[in-house]
Copies of this chain bind each other. A is one copy, B any other.
Amino acid sequence: MKFGSSNIVLLLFFIFLSVSFALPSKKFQHKPCKHLVLYFHDIIYNGKNAANATSAIVAAPEGANRTILAGQFHFGNVAVFDDPITLDNNLHSPPVGRAQGLYIYDTKNTFTAWLGFSFVLNSTDYQGTINFIGADPLMNKTRDISIVGGTGDFFMHRGIATIMTDAFEGEVYFRLNVDIKFYECW
């Protein structure tokens, strides 16, 4: 068989094709490499529920106390939390870990928060931590925050978490649905 010009063109085309697949295709690859859906449950201390509370107001603007969320959409309240994480929306399901960190109410004319926290997972499925920060405009049905790192089974992972308020009872209990999509998995 002779190897004619057309064959060379074909070969070059094939090479280019291969190489283009080899190029980092991050821009177009927005499919998660790992996906988890979890719930966490926050019961804020109000002066009467010490036994059940999983979070507490620890800072407030001048004039506000730390057992009642501040006026003006709770602007300036900082809460520290250690909330159970569950696989479904039942507060009493066996926890697979704890959500630990802080949230900060940060607007005077609507409900928004800023979040800095970790998921500390300790189950048969997952051992490790996931670290989150981001803005949480509470009145939106869904809010995206950043997954900025992880350890253990989530070593060096990055991604996006979509948060939804799954339940809200008075100013004492809320439950968040957290849709965790990792796009960088290592």
Residues of A that sit less than 8 Å from B by CB? 1-5, 7-8, 11-12, 14-16, 18-19, 21-24, 26-27, 30, 45, 47, 56-62, 65-67, 75-78, 80-82, 98, 100-102, 104-108, 112, 114, 116-118, 120, 129, 131, 133-135, 137, 144-152, 155-156, 158-160, 183-186
Contacts and interface: CB of A to CB of B under 8 A. Distances in A.
A41 to B, nearest CB: 15
A10 to B, nearest CB: 10
10 contacts: A12-B14, A22-B23, A27-B185, A27-B186, A56-B75, A80-B106, A81-B106, A101-B106, A133-B149, A146-B149
A107 B159 CA distance: 26
Contacts of A104: 80, 101-102
A145 B128 CA distance: 10
Copies in the complex: 3
Q: Which of A2, A11, A75, A114 has most chain B Cβ within 10 Å? A: A114
Contacts of A158: 149, 156
B156 A151 contact: no
